[in-house]
Amino acid sequence: MADRKHVVIVGGGFGGISVAKKLKGADVDITLIDRNNHHLFQPLLYQVATAALSPGDIATPIRAILGQRKGLQVLLGTVTGINRDQRFVELKKGQKISFDYLVLAPGAKYNYFGNDDWPNHAPGLKSIGDALQVRERILLSLEEAEQLKDPKLREPYLTYVVIGGGPTGVEMAGAIAEIAKRNMMRDYSTFSRNETRIFLVEAAPRILNGYPESLAEKARNTLEKMGVRVLLNTPVTDIGENKVTFSEGTIQTPNIIWAAGVAASPLLSALNTEQDRSGRVVVTDDLSLSDDDHIFVIGDAAHKEDSDGNPLPALAPVAMQQGDFVGKLIKRELKGKERKTFSFTDKGTMATVGRAKAVADIRGFKFSGLFAWLLWSIVHIFFLIGFRNRFRVFVEWMWHYLTFNRGVRLITDRQSNEEELIGGQEEKH
Ligand SMILES: Cc1cc2nc3c(=O)[nH]c(=O)nc-3n(C[C@H](O)[C@H](O)[C@H](O)COP(=O)(O)OP(=O)(O)OC[C@H]3O[C@@H](n4cnc5c(N)ncnc54)[C@H](O)[C@@H]3O)c2cc1C
């Protein structure tokens, strides 16, 4: 009898989880390794950052998702090396795990284009830690503004700069505008909601690149009606402590959020194979490496072109469909069946701009406003999460969203944050 094959999956995001699920019932051992013990629903991270949801609402332990299965092991660890010749991956602690099939789904990270200092001043939104950092800055800023009676001195604390006009930047700017216009601001007595300034800064001539022009324009108009100033053709030239600089000038604020470029996981360079400009690995039609058909790369880490030659976007449905595909491919191959080629079924793109406001392009049909927002809600909550607790999350999220009640407004770790904001204590009541 042949040896049982071992499939190693790196990453418990949308891609990695889909592979593991699809392999259920296959005659293989599976090891899924992730540096976190949870799967993160990144599309709703901005709602944690803006105090609408708590971390537990959008993160689920990987073990809970996959459950107990014969031959399946989930490991908490960071993969730091890949030895293709000797067929093993290496963890940070030195442990070596051998594989017959390797599926890499380590996702992406924010790209600060070589400006190593910028992440300290302008966190991106990629992890629970990032979202909590942004949330804490926003809440601490409001507390600081409450203590300053000179409007000029409190201006930086009521200013928000979101860099990057993609879906994340648009969602983030819209959510901050909701906060500024409604609920949270009512709790403060010193300043008025009209003092809030929100900037969405984009280097390109338009926001929502990749969406139809008409929808991008609708989203921009909606944002502007909500009080967001959309600065197009405005590349950021520098980010420092509590300030962001463009060719036109500098904005002072501790609330700078990075939602610009992404780069694939640095782990991929260990493969020593072809990568695109963003570091994504160029894969073949069956998502394996051109020189190693037992190593697959999927999701945000992979460069795979559609039939028109355009790279597939870094979106959850792409990662999930690729994960399903590879899981099925391995299952079939173990039974001696031939490989098929991957093709992506585009079910549409959408982005929310604010409460009851969104834009959507579903197979060429364009929607905006309430209907698009309802579609966005259904797809995000029911289709993307797809886990047992989705109903609970849905109810909680709708409650916070519809009642304007930003429930999660705790500032923790106050001691260490106290020193960090701009030294604006000069003028107090
Ligand atoms: C703020 C934000 C909003 C988004 N909104 C949307 C949206 O509305 N709709 C949409 O479709 N997509 C959205 N996306 C994109 C979507 O989340 C990604 O396309 C999707 O998560 C990619 O799945 P993946 O499996 O490739 O990677 P991920 O889901 O990022 O998973 C990668 C996993 O690998 C683990 N990992 C990484 N490196 C290592 C290592 N060295 N060792 C061990 N583990 C490792 C990570 O911990 C992580 O769990 C958004 C992304 C962000 C950041």
Per-residue pLDDT tens for 82-113? Answer: 999 999 999 999 999 999 999 999 999 999 99
Q: How far is the CA of 267 from the centre of ligand 1 (A)?
A: 14
Residue that has been written with the tokens 């500032």 in this structure = 411
Expressed as residue numbers, the domain containing 357 is 118-260+348-417
130 CB under 6 A from ligand 1?
Answer: no
CATH code of 96's domain: 3.50.50.60
Of 334, 357, 376, at which residue does a domain stop? Answer: 334
Return the residue whose CA atom lies nearest to atom 29 of ligand 1: 13
Q: Please identify, by atom number, the ligand 1 atom nearest to the C-alpha of residue 80.
A: 41
The two tokens of residue 130 are: 């990032």
**144 located within any domain:** yes
Distance from C-alpha of 92 to C-alpha of 96, rounded to nearest angstrom: 10
Q: Tell me phi and psi for residue 13, to 5 degrees.
A: -85, -160
* Residues 281, 301 contacting (CB under 8 angstroms): yes
Residue nearest to atom 19 of ligand 1 (CA): 315
* Residue 16 Cα to ligand 1 middle (Å): 10
Sign of the CA dihedral 378, 366, 234, 231? negative
230 occurs within a structural domain = yes
Residue 425 located in a structural domain: no
Q: What is the DSSP string of 339-369?
A: P---------EEEEEETTEEEEEETTEEEES
User: CB neighbours of 418 closer than 8 A, spacing ≥ 6?
Assistant: none
Q: Are residues 192 and 271 in the same domain?
A: no
The string of DSSP codes covering 103-138 is EE---EEE--TT-TTHHHHS-BSSSHHHHHHHHHHH
Q: Is the backbone of residue 67 left (phi > 0), alpha (psi -120 to 50) or beta?
A: left
Mutational pocket test of ligand 1: of 32, 82, 315, the residue with most ligand atoms within 8 Å of the beta carbon: 315
The pLDDT, as a whole number, for residue 145 is 93
Question: Do 151 and 246 sit in the same domain of this protein?
Answer: yes
What is the band of 160 on the pLDDT scale with cuts at 50, 70, 90? very high
Domain final residue pick, 280, 299, 334: 334
Is the model's pLDDT at 209 over the cut of 50? yes
Same domain? 382 vs 248? yes
More confident position, 192 or 173: 173
CA 290/CA 285 separation, integer angstroms:
9
Which residues fall within 8 angstroms of residue 343, CB to CB, at 6 or more apart? 307
pLDDT greater than 90 at residue 399? no
Tell me whether residue 355 is in a domain.
yes
Q: Looking at the domain assignment, is residue 70 inside a domain?
A: no
Q: How many domains does the chain have?
A: 2
Looking at residue 336, what is its pLDDT?
95
Tell me, yes or no, whether 48 lies in a domain.
Answer: no
Rounded distance from Cα 44 to ligand 1 centre (Å): 12
Cβ of 319 closer than 6 Å to ligand 1, yes or no, is yes
Same domain, 224 and 87: no
- The pLDDT of 125-139, averaged and rounded, is 90
Going by CA atoms, what residue is nearest to atom 8 of ligand 1? 43
Phi/psi class of residue 328: alpha, beta or left (left: φ > 0; alpha: ψ in -120 to 50)? alpha
Q: 299 and 152, same structural domain?
A: no
**Residue 14 CB–ligand 1 contact under 6 Å:** yes
End-to-end CA distance of the chain: 81
Mean pLDDT score of the chain: 88
Instruction: Please indicate, yes or no, if residue 233 is contained in any of the structural domains.
Output: yes
287 lines ligand 1 (CB under 6 A): no
Residues 356 and 313 in one domain: no
Angle at 322 between CA 98 and CA 87, to 5 degrees: 15
| Average pLDDT over every residue of 24-44 | 94
Question: Could you tell me if the CB of 299 is within 6 A of ligand 1?
Answer: yes
Q: How confident is the model at residue 401 (pLDDT cuts 50, 70, 90)?
A: low
Q: Are 101 and 30 in contact (CB under 8 A)?
A: no
- Does 299 lie in the same domain as 205? no
For residues 127 and 96, state if they share a domain.
no
- 353 sits in which H/E element: strand 349-354
Give the ligand 1 atom nearest the CA of 38: 49
Query: Measured from the CB, is residue 172 less than 6 Å from ligand 1?
Result: no
256 plus 222 within the same structural domain: yes
